[in-house]
Chain A
Amino acid sequence: MNKWFNEKVNRTVEKQVKLAVTGLSRSGKTVFITSLVHQLLHGLSGSHLPFFKMVSGGRLRATKIMPQPDMHVPSFRYDRAIEQLCGDPPTWPQPTNGITEIRLAIRYLSDNVLLKHLSPVNTLYIDIIDYPGEWLLDLPLLELSYEQWSEQITDACKIEPRLSLSKKWRTFLEGIDIASVVDVPIIRQAATLYTDFLHQCKEQYRLSLLQPGRFTMPGDDLKGAPLLEFCPLLEIPQNIYNENSFFAEMKRRYESYKKHVVKKFYQEQFSSFDRQIVLADVLRTFNTGYASFVDMRDAINMVLKSFHYGKSGLINRLFGLKIDKILFAATKADHVTPEQLPNLETFLHQMLAKSQNSAVFEGVHTETLALAAVKCTQAAHTTFQSKKISCIKGVPIDSNKPIALFPGEVPVTVPMPDEWVEERFHFLEFKPPRLANVHGGSLPHIRLDRAFEFLLGDKF
């Protein structure tokens, strides 16, 4: 009770921020958090955050990693991630397979006319949570019944590439009488086939909208639990009242998944944020094609629907916190030439227009930004066919030799499906930069300081 009260009071006087780092899998959440922690820890050395006014104005005293408030959640291993980033050769941090948390304490000099005299040195606590992006897609399930969800999946499977990928699973389901008495091995078989189908979607076509999230990324505590053994049904029977039927058992397992997995995750981690950053790797979808793009757009918009938005007035803060600022960020902005950044921002803006519109309607401040948490290419220019052309220099992920390329133009509007031709985009993945003095200095980045200013600037 006392702890609860302290936390509420702390947040009411704006001493604590809970930052939601939202993004589908492989959108760069871990790298973003690692870079954020690193930039703030090294905020005093150098001038790498010119647009973060608290730091560039010389008001930062120091930043420190603090013991986190939730003891049952594993810590975010910043040290391990930075070790990987700065190893020789450097590698990107491992994809997250569980939930982790980190708390930063920032000591700063107050700029407030009143606070300047009352308490010149203040501390702001920032809580950040890292989790597998796959799990985010479970949030929309909270609003769906088993029947509605099955219908959604069935509809999605009528279109390529899901149509061909799901063939095996669908033929198996068609061979079962769902009104019959439940048989556990058959359920297990159906769930395995469905999980295989999800894995294929993820690996072959880089699709994002894969539910339930724990099927592709179970987490350590749930492997083999019966509530992970179910799947949607292609046809919902109209009148089955048998409690022991195949259908009834599937439905029970779905509901229990919702209750024990999704709701728990949502309530513990997602209901109490006051700032949110939504990371989206737009460039990857350019490479993989129109279907993948549509899938990702729908997935993000669907996830964002599950967040509560609204002004963080005093009342709201005491009785349920709400997000009052959202930053939509296109990550890996260093993979395009710098003059394409506005295009990337416009494109993301259009992609998420629906969510942004509903957030703005609720009085939430939103902004779109193209950023790179760790910049791994150099901007360069060269003369090509007697014209000056901008390009980037970097080391591709599967090679050891740097290359220079113009990776293609980011379209401002969504290209039509037939314009999504094979050779139009070539946004390569790059290796992290090789950094000489990372423990004493900062990581190179693009516009991360502007993201900080938007997300945290008014808290100092």
Chain B
Amino acid sequence: MNTETWKKPLYFELDKVETLAEEEATITLDYTPPVILPENAELVTHNLLAAYEAEPVVQPNVAKTSQSRRIISPLWLLVASLSLLLVLMLLVDTIHFIAQQYSSSLFVGTLFLGLILTIVGTTLLSSWRAYQNLQVLRTVSKLQQEGRRLMETDGYGNAIPYLNKIAQFYNHRPEIKTRLEYFYLNLNDSYHDRELCGLFSTNVMKEIDQQAYSIVVQRSKETALMVMISQIALLDTVLTLWRNTRMIKDIATLYGGRPGFFGSISLMSIVLQNLIYADVSEMVAESVAEIFGGSVLSVMSAQAAQGLGSGVLTARLGLHAIQACRPLPFSAEEKPGLKDIRREIVASLKGVFKIKEAEKVST
């Protein structure tokens, strides 16, 4: 069929067309008693299934062909044979080594064998886990790419299968499930992909966003307080690392997926920045205290500033983590900002500052 005929009007048999299930309820077309269109019932069930179908009806098979081409590419063959060679050499070497040990003593041989088996076992296990994680990573970054494309173009009809895939992340959570049901119930068949993504974002994702936001606020406050109170630079670094990794993990679990490859690289670089900051700012705080003669107030304010800095950096990391883990990308106006978090951290620091000062004065 050429595209020319598509431009002309076409008429269809009524029972051969399918509609969005929810629309049937809002608009009734038959003007005679409602038994007239018996195909209605059939359409409803059929479409309800379609609404919760995870995979889109038409899957482009571009990815598949490129994958099969990659398998037979010479570079891949080279890498595969080289790694096989490496593994074989290692194996042969190890067997030689163990055989040598056995020949000298049974006990030493068994000891080495056990050790090597343990190492190999742990490595295999951890790589299997890493592989599993990688699978999850891939889903999120792929979803994000798809979402970004949907929100940038003026398309129609592709958003529902995409949103169904995201909905699967949250189907097991009761509080989000009700929101999902509400979202599906209020669909309109004229919504475009961009509108649907926006609606999903405000109706469903907002709940999760708020939870993630409160996690970020909580962890930032904790980091700020700990860094402010502690006096040792090494401890600051360890505390920051602990809180930061904990926060990323919490956010990832909340959104039901981990950040993609590039996402985690950018997150890691921010974590490193935070660690360096925690280290350097401690030294600055110490020198400031020396300059000002170690008076209570100056040490307190320097430490408070340091705490605030760490807190804000953690908050920044948290917001990045939210963006990296959220399967549906944020639209320009939805992106969460640092402003409010900073205010909350300052408020919490002020509270502790007052308590601590009062303690110091009383002692």
Contact = CB atoms under 8 A, between A and B. Distances in A.
Interface of A: 47-48, 50-51, 56, 89, 333-334, 338-339, 341-342, 372, 375-385, 387-391, 393-395, 400, 402-409, 423-426, 431, 433-436, 444, 446-447
B8 A378 contact: no
Contacts of A377: 27
Interface stretch (B28-36, B132-140, B262-270): B28-36
Interface string B200-217: 001100000000000000
A383 B18 CA distance: 10
B16 to A, nearest CB: 5
B191 to A, nearest CB: 8
A423 B26 CA distance: 32
Interface of chain B: mostly helix, strand, loop or mixed? loop
8 contacts: A51-B198, A338-B192, A390-B156, A391-B12, A403-B11, A404-B12, A404-B14, A406-B11
Nearest to B12: A404
Contacts of B28: 433-436
A390 B189 CA distance: 11
Contact of B189 (A48, A379, A447): A379
A50 B10 contact: no
Given A390-B157, A405-B9, A433-B26, 20 more contacts: A48-B186, A50-B202, A51-B195, A56-B202, A338-B191, A338-B192, A372-B190, A376-B27, A380-B17, A382-B12, A390-B156, A393-B14, A393-B17, A395-B29, A402-B37, A405-B11, A406-B12, A423-B8, A446-B188, A447-B190
Contacts of A380: 17-19, 189
A381 B189 CA distance: 11
Q: Which 9 pairs across A and B sit closest by C-beta, in order of nearness? A: A426-B9, A339-B156, A379-B189, A380-B17, A382-B17, A406-B10, A402-B29, A433-B27, A404-B12
A24 to B, nearest CB: 24
B8 A384 contact: no
B189 A391 contact: no
A389 B10 contact: yes
A403 B14 contact: yes
B186 A50 contact: yes
B156 A338 contact: yes
B78 interface: no
Contact of A378 (B29, B186, B199): B29
B44 interface: no
B156 to A, nearest CB: 4
A339 B157 contact: yes
Contacts of B7: 408-409, 424
A400 B155 CA distance: 33
Nearest to B195: A51
Interface in B296-311: none
A194 B149 CA distance: 57
B23 interface: yes
B10 A391 contact: yes
Contacts of A89: 31
A405 B10 contact: yes
A382 B14 CA distance: 10
Contact of A425 (B9, B11, B156, B189): B9
A389 B6 contact: yes
**Which interface residue of A56, A393, A394 has the most chain B CB atoms within 10 A?**
A393
B154 A338 contact: no
Given A380-B17, A403-B14, A387 B1 contact: yes
A402 B27 CA distance: 12
Contacts of A387: 1
A378 B191 CA distance: 12
A92 to B, nearest CB: 14
Nearest to B203: A50
B186 A409 contact: no
Contact of A381 (B17, B188, B195): B17
A390 to B, nearest CB: 7
B192 A393 contact: no
A340 to B, nearest CB: 9
Nearest to B24: A378
Contact of A393 (B26, B29, B186, B188): B29
B57 A388 contact: yes
Contacts of B13: 404
Contacts of B17: 380-382, 391, 393, 404
B20 interface: yes
Contacts of A423: 8-9
A402 B9 contact: no
A404 B13 CA distance: 7
B62 interface: no
Contacts of B14: 393, 402-404
A436 B28 CA distance: 8
Contacts of A436: 28
A444 B186 contact: no
A394 B186 CA distance: 21
Contacts of A339: 155-157, 192
A407 B9 contact: yes
A434 B190 contact: no
B19 A393 contact: yes
A390 B7 CA distance: 12
A402 B253 CA distance: 49
Contact of B31 (A342, A407, A434): A434
**Which interface residue of A333, A342, A376, A382 has the most chain B CB atoms within 10 A?**
A382
**Which interface residue of A372, A380, A423 has the most chain B CB atoms within 10 A?**
A380
Contact of B30 (A391, A402, A424, A444): A402
A355 B131 CA distance: 59
A5 B101 CA distance: 105
